[in-house]
Amino acid sequence: MWKGRFTGQTAQIVQRFTQSLDLDWRLAAYDIRGSIAHARMLRSVGLLTDDEERRIETGLLEIGTEIASGTLVPTQELEDVHMNIESRLIEKIGPAGAKLHTGRSRNDQVAVTVRLFLRDQLLGMAEDMEALLSALLRLAERHRLTVIPGYTHLQQAQPVSFGHYLMAHFTAFSRDYDRLFYALRSLNECPLGAGALAGSTLPLDRHFTAAELGFPSPTRNSLDTVAQRDYMLDYHSFASLFAVHCSRLCEDFILYSSQEFGWLLLPDSFCTGSSMMPQKKNADVLELLRGKTGQIVGHQMDLYVTLKGLPMTYDRDLQEDKRGLWASLATVSDMIHALTALLCEVDVNEERAAAGMADGLILATDVAEELVRRGIPFREAHEKVGHLVKECLARGKGLFDLSREEWAELLPELDGDLLGNLSIHAAVERRKTFGGTGFDQVAEQIRYGVAAVEEAKERRERYAADLPVIE
């Protein structure tokens, strides 16, 4: 493609080292889609005749069929998907095929091809995220009235609804969904027409091409167009935070399903055994979900490091931007599917959860707040209940084990009338502050979540409905 400038042939080792077919051959259908839009624009501004454009478009569609069937095998000598397709087009239709690259560089060509590909990928991922969010909602509704220990510092803190716990993860994943949709919006400009870096002296109609490909507008600065990969980083930002949130949920599930906790029940179909120890039930799926998070965060950092020292505008380093992107897309997709399927089968051993709170010490905050209701400053109430807990530990008793006389001795301010109201279930039910763990509040969170997922689905469908289909 550049033989006019050079006197020698490209060394074979250079051909192997610089080729990108292992990365970009999967983009063939999107390259063809972009090329058809470019050809139609060239015809509209008089740079192609109707017959030339028709032959180019027909040839490209035939090449697409050849690629899909496997009859067209790319060659390393042609370096990448773009040149393999263009070479085949010229072979099929002659000189008219050589006009396709008029007013276009591989710099803006690859930029639009990747955006088209990533747009489809992210739309599919958004639909998968909706399924994950819906699975969390169903599980939260099923366990809205299930009470489990809530933890800070991995120590029992206060009782909570398991539905409330699940809605915490729903809320985090909902933010991830918004980041995913932001990534979709950030790629929604058309690079075609930016050329190698400076645009073109030819009368290209960039708005025509953008409309053909379903972009609201062309990019605004040709230099930035070929230099930036912000839209990829926006995806990686979503992916990294999603993976972190996924990893935290998995860590909880691994702990809560262990014998030491024992109240979370994992399905056998998502666990494995030991090659040596017959009794083992290992949470391998959860551990792998947790383990893959490092890869996802690493792909984001990989691109950051690649970009940080690049001079304007295009540099060959950017060819490597796709390696981490492809790996991240595949891994995140697998993570979403695996977690969604697992959530459909998770359950809770309510008796085991209750047994872990049997001493009632998890209600110490409730006792302190009852003192506050009786006019005692909170810091004083906190100290008094701290002494109460210390005395319970010294006597080998829990709060539920104390007699009326002991309550009167240790906390005379209560007049011994707290006993009837001191229960794990009531403690959860009373937490009616907005966003709290009270059962009614959890029901409201679930209702909001259902509406939010439906709104997200409608937003995605509207976005997809505005995309044209090139026929």
Strand partners, 151: 156
What number of residues does the chain have? 471
**Between 28-44 and 81-93, two packed helices, what is the crossing angle to 10 degrees?**
60
387 among known catalytic residues: no
153 among known catalytic residues: yes
Residue corresponding to tokens 């709060």: 399
One of 274, 337, 387, 403 is an active-site residue; which one? 274
Tokens of 247: 């990893």
φ, ψ of residue 266 in degrees (nearest 5): -95, 140
SS3 of 218, please? strand
Strand partners, 347: 265
Could you tell me whether strands 147-152 and 155-161 are parallel, antiparallel, or unpaired per DSSP bridges?
antiparallel
Q: Which of 25, 35, 28 is nearest to 470 (CA)?
A: 35
Q: Return all residues near 103 (Cβ < 8 A) that are at least 6 apart.
A: 38, 42, 47, 193, 195, 200, 202, 204
Q: Return all residues near 44 (Cβ < 8 A) that are at least 6 apart.
A: 205, 208
Tokens of 74: 């790319």
Alpha-carbon distances, residue 441 vs 151, 365, 422, 438, 446 (angstroms): 19, 19, 20, 5, 9
Under the phi-then-psi rule, with left for phi > 0, alpha for psi from -120 to 50, and beta for the rest, what region is 221? beta
Query: Is residue 245 classed exposed, middle or buried when 0-12, 13-18 and 19+ CB atoms within 10 A define those classes?
Result: middle
Could you tell me whether strands 347-348 and 155-161 are parallel, antiparallel, or unpaired per DSSP bridges?
unpaired
SS3 of 260, please? coil
Angle at 113 between CA 217 and CA 219, to 5 degrees: 25
Distance separating the N- and C-terminal Cα atoms of the chain = 29
Q: For residue 327, what is the enclosing H or E element?
A: helix 321-343
Q: Which of 93, 109, 149 is nearest to 28 (CA)?
A: 109
Tokens of 203: 């009368």
* Dist. CA 166–CA 195, nearest whole Å: 49
One of 69, 153, 269, 275 is an active-site residue; which one? 153
On whether the CB atoms of residues 170 and 449 are closer than 8 A, the answer is yes
CA 238 to chain centre: 5
Active site residues: 153, 274
